[in-house]
Each structure stands twice: as C-alpha cells, then as structure tokens.
Structure 1
Amino acid sequence: MRETGPLPKDHPPVAAKKIGLLLVNLGTPDAPDKQSVKRYLKQFLSDKRVVEIPSIIWQPILRGVILNTRPAKSAEAYQLVWTEDGSPLAFYTHKQAERLAGKIDGVMVDWAMRYGNPSIGTRLNAMKAAGCDRILIAPLYPQYSGATTASVHDAVFDAIAAMRWQPAIRLLPAYHDDPAYIDALATSLERDIAALDFEPDAIVASFHGMPQRTLEMGDPYHCHCQKTARLLSEKMGKELIVAFQSRFGRAKWLGPPTDEILEALPGQGKKNIAIFAPGFSSDCLETCEELAIRGKEQFESGGGENFAYLPCLNDSDISINMLEQLVRRELSGWI
C-alpha cells in the first residue's frame, strides 16, 4: 500500500470538512412550455419507482402516446401557476433552504429536485467539492412511499456510487406522525380557517394518490396518510374528510377521489368547505392548479357556494421552525 505523503502538485486542494443538509422535493420543469414539460415528464415517468410496469411494455406507451399528448396540456396547467420567480415548488423549496441556512450554524444547506433541476447529483457533487464529508438528505415528503422517498434514496446512492471519496450519508425519516409536524399543520390550519369570511361545513384533507396495488404490495403510504389525518383531527378537535387526488391511467387508485368528493359534498349539505394538502411541504401544480382552481370549479359545479384552498406550510415561520426541529434531531452527533 502506498504510504501517506504530500499530494501531487497538480492535485486539487482538499477543502476543510463541513456538514451538509440537502432538502429534496419532487421536481418541476424548467419552464412552463411544452418542450420543458416533456423533458420533465420523460424523466419522472421513466422512474421505475413511479411506474411499476416492465419497461418493455411501458416505454413504448410513454414515448409513443403519453409524451406526444400530455406535455401540451400539462404546460397549460403550469402556465396558470408559474410566477416571475418560477414554479411555486422550486421557489418555496429554495426559500426553505435559504431560511434554514440562517438558523443552523456550521451547516451548508442546499436544495435539489428528484426530477428536473437542480438535480440531486449536481448538488451532492457541489457539496462534496465544498468539503462536506457528512450530509443529511431530507426528502420533504411527510408520508413515506416507494414512489417518492425511496426514489430520492435511489438517486442519492446512484450519485455517490460514482464518487471515489464518498461522504457519510444520513436520511431524514418520514415524519407523518411526528408531533412537530402535526403541531405545525394544526397551527397553520387554525390560523387560516380563522381568517376566512365563512364557517366551513367540511374540511377536506387531500393527499396525492397512489395506485391501489402499492398498498397491496406493502407500501405504507396509505397508512401514513390516514394516521396524519387522524392525529391532526384529534389535535384540532375537528372532523376531516380524507381524499386522494391526481389519478393517472386506468389502474385502480387509492380513494375516495378528491374530485368526486368535491362534486358530491354540496348535495350532502356541505356547501361551504375548506381544503388543504397535508402531504405536500410546498405548494405546487397539484395544489395551485388541481385543487385551488380545478377543485373550486368541481365544487361549484356540484352546487357549492364558498370554497377555500388553504396553502401548504411553504416557507412560513411555522414551517421553518418545524423543519429545524426535525433536521437538528437527525444531525445530532454531527453538530
């Protein structure tokens, strides 16, 4: 074995050791146009964690049908929620990282997207180059699923597999039942409901949907969603209606479907409602367009009168304080 000695003169300098924190969310196209959305959907829908159909069957469908039809429609939806700061998801994830960096001394805080930019690989390489030899990965999914949390883990370990000198890695666990998360949700919701100019007859908790077979195959996502809703309901002393949104394809998905619930509530005497999305750490296409815009239309088409979409935790003080508690716990022993 070669003895330790001076580095070659052309060897890059070794950076001082640092601790890193990388926040990761799902992803967003670079722009609200057809080509950008097509690139994003190709990466997203090619993830075998997301679509569990053999590639030999799925890829011809994806490339031959879906990527030639869906991008234009999705681009129109993104255009409705895009701002001068970009997509809401990228904006809020960036702000969360920025605000956490100001609260946790001695830690380099960055952010990445599982699909799209900035990618997990580029940010991990940048953190490693900056001297981070210990990095906490924080997938911003409160409820665990193979299609979300595990996919982030895959991307992280694919990235460090290419590194000769790998950093130590920790992974933030799902926090669906963590008191800090439940308290943050309850505080945010109670504040937002109190600010409404009407009293909701019903409060709907809309989680992102998953195919029913994920539950049957042992994925804990459905159970995590139900536990979040139960704990939150107990904390607030209010009944919550649990629903699942964003169905895709012909397979059976977790239910009841959010759109059907919204259309049916007025006929059940629930003509004034509030809806929120506790499975999303930041507002995004699925909340700003699918719930706040299309959800309102669906509710009103059923005879509803007053509709309020309550925003995600985003980069509020409530959110940042909660995230700080979670990551400090996982950074224990490093800081």
Structure 2
Amino acid sequence: MQPNAEMIAVNHPPVAFGKVGVLLVNLGTPDGTDPVSMRRYLREFLTDGRVIEWPKYLWYPILFGIVLRTRPAKVGKAYQSIWNTDRNESYLRTHTRSQAEKMAASLAGHPHVVVDWAMRYGQPSIASRIDALHKAGCERILLFPLYPQYAAATTATVNDKAFEALLKMRWQPALRTVPPYHDDPVYIDALARSITAHLATLDWEPEVVLTSFHGIPKSYFTKGDPYHCQCMKTARLLRERLGWTKEKLMVTFQSRFGPEEWLQPYTDKTVEKLATDGVKRIAVINPGFVSDCLETLEEIAVAAGETFHHAGGEKFTHIPCLNDGPDGMRVLEHVVRRELQGWV
C-alpha cells in the first residue's frame, strides 16, 4: 500500500515556522594565532574572487607558492599582539557576538525574531547560521553585512555566500540584504559623538584627525565600485556635523596589499608626512569598521602611532570603533528596525 499524505505527515517531525531571523555578518577571524589556523583563514580569504580579482592562473602560484608560506607566521604574530586572551579569540569575534546578543535583547519585544551572527571567512560560517535560523523556524532572514560603506570585496561577497547557501536548500527562506548606511544621520551622529567623547578624555587637542578607511585597489574603483564615493560622503557629512575643515578632518586609506595601486592617500604615508611637515598631534578614527580588529588595534593604534612618533610626531591617539557600545548598538538597531519593516 502506498503511503498517503496523512501517513507521511504523521511520521514527519514537526516543522518550526513563523519566525524572522536577523543575521549579523562581519569579515572573519582565524580560530587561533598558530600557523595552521592562520593559513586556513588566509587561504579562504585570499581565494575569494571578490577580494583578489586577478585571474587564478596568475594569482594562485603566488598565493600558494609564496603568500601562504610566508604570511601566516607574520600575521599570526600581529594577531597575538591584540588577541583577547581572556576568551582566546580575536576581538572581532568578541565584539560581533556581543553585538548579536545585545541586538537580541533590544528586540526582545518581538519574540518571533531570532538574532544570530556569522563570519564571511572562518567560523561560524554564513551557511551554518542560515541553516540554524531556518531550522529554528525562520521563514524570513534579514542579512546584515556589517559594513557602512558598500564594496564588492566586503558587502557583495557576504551576499554571494548567503545566496550560495540558499542554492543548496530545497525550502529556502525569504532573504533581505541590508544596504549601505554610509550617510545615515544616526551613523554620522554616532561617529561624531565618539570623536567628541574621546577627545574630551585627552589633555591635548589634535591638529589633524584622520578618517582611515580600509582601502581597495584603484582598479576596483574604476570598474564601478561605489566604495570610494561612499567613504568620501561619510567623511564630508562627519566634517559638516563637527563643523571642521578639510584640513582638520582628512580622508586616508589603509591596509593595501600587493603591487597594485590602491585608493589614495595612503594612511601610513600620510601619518609620516604629517609628522615630517611639523604636525605634532594627530588622532585617527576608522569609520568603515563596525568593530575593532587587527586593522584598527594593530595597524593603526600601534603601527601608525609608531610611524608618527618615529617621524617626529609627539601626540597620537586612536579613537576606538563604535563596537558594542551604546552609540554603536543604537546605529545597528536603527538599521535593523528600519529594514525589518513589513516583516515585524
């Protein structure tokens, strides 16, 4: 006898449904600072065609023949210098987890909303958390790439990975992606407040404040990536909000890699030139980073500070990212509530 629909339904485990998921996604983190963990992380990161757009036949011999043989140890040492030893993890993981937990608490009035977090590279993976949200009954998922400014190498690759996960699902949840919020007044106000609050703790005033954004190759910009334009707009709005001049609040780009020309001016070169030109006091903020990480805690707070002092500068300070503080969470919650309209 062929089983009928009723028999199948009786034997099938109950299916959860009726919930809405919110998935916060940041760039990624290695599981440890040892060479094996670093190599695994860097391999996933640097084989992403959105990050390195060179043809594989040109890039892979360099990547597997040189980069993955030399950089894991070097990058591992950098991570060790800023590792969260209390939790044995990177601060990016610590902050992202906390942001998800605080977001869940702020949305507690909507019991059918489930908040989770993931990393584009490393763990927890986007696919694993989409699967977990779906099994928890989330028929709709809001995907939030944690980048205020859009770039193909950041926002787009998060979206790619999420849709790649859906390709393997028979019963797909509806998916919304959060757009960039580089010019959102709540975000601009939070940045301004963080600058003002940090400078108020100093017994000196910076002559120049740098807004240091993560760079991208110039070729990506000329191909149509809007990232540069959105960074410049963020800085302009922040400058207007603070009532500062272009000389007081400058835009630079950091973290270049490889032989290509990247967006300029470069942060490290600018920091050095300011010192050699006689500027004695500067501050640096990273508006494009939602959470402090290797690029802010080591590359800016440590390395850029050393560069400035060695070139003759006297006072240097790094203004922390918004992280999971009240202003930072206010921005993230504002964006999530806006994008959940119609679903919640």
| Structure 1 length-normalised TM | 0.97
What corresponds to 1:59 in structure 2?
Answer: 60
Cα deviation, 1:6-34, whole Å, max 9, x if unaligned, reads 54444232013211000000000001111
Cα deviation, 1:151-185, whole Å, max 9, x if unaligned, reads 00100000011110000000010000111111111
Cα deviation, 1:101-154, whole Å, max 9, x if unaligned, reads 001133100000000000000000000001000000000000000000000010
Q: Is contact 2:17–2:139 with CA below 8 Å preserved after alignment?
A: no
Aligned residues: 334
CA RMSD of aligned residues (A): 1.3
**1:137 aligns with one of 137, 143, 147:** 143
Letter in 2 for 1:41: L
Q: Is contact 2:278–2:313 with CA below 8 Å preserved after alignment?
A: no
**1:249 aligns with one of 258, 273, 279:** 258
What corresponds to 1:43 in structure 2?
Answer: 44
**2:224 aligns with one of 218, 224, 239:** 218
1:1-335 matches, within 5 Å, as: 5=6, 7-83=8-84, 84-85=86-87, 86-104=89-107, 105-106=110-111, 107-238=113-244, 239-335=248-344
Unaligned runs of 5+ in 1: none
Counterparts of 1:4 and 1:175, CA distance in 2:
48
Letter in 2 for 1:329: R
Cα deviation, 1:47-86, whole Å, max 9, x if unaligned, reads 0000001112211211111000010000000000001221
Residue 138 of structure 1 aligns to a residue in which SS?
Answer: strand
- 1:193–1:114 distance in 2 versus 1, CA, 3 Å: same
Counterparts of 1:218 and 1:102, CA distance in 2:
39
- 1:191–1:63 distance in 2 versus 1, CA, 3 Å: same
Unaligned runs of 5+ in 2: none
Residue 211 of structure 2 aligns to a residue in which SS?
Answer: strand
Cα deviation, 1:236-258, whole Å, max 9, x if unaligned, reads 11231111000100011111110
Runs of 4+ in 1 over 6 A off after TM superposition: none
Counterparts of 1:3 and 1:309, CA distance in 2:
67
Q: Is contact 2:290–2:321 with CA below 8 Å preserved after alignment?
A: yes
Q: Which moved more, 1:74-83 or 1:319-328?
A: 319-328
Counterparts of 1:232 and 1:326, CA distance in 2:
18
Cα deviation, 1:187-209, whole Å, max 9, x if unaligned, reads 11111111112111110110001
| Structure 2 length-normalised TM | 0.95
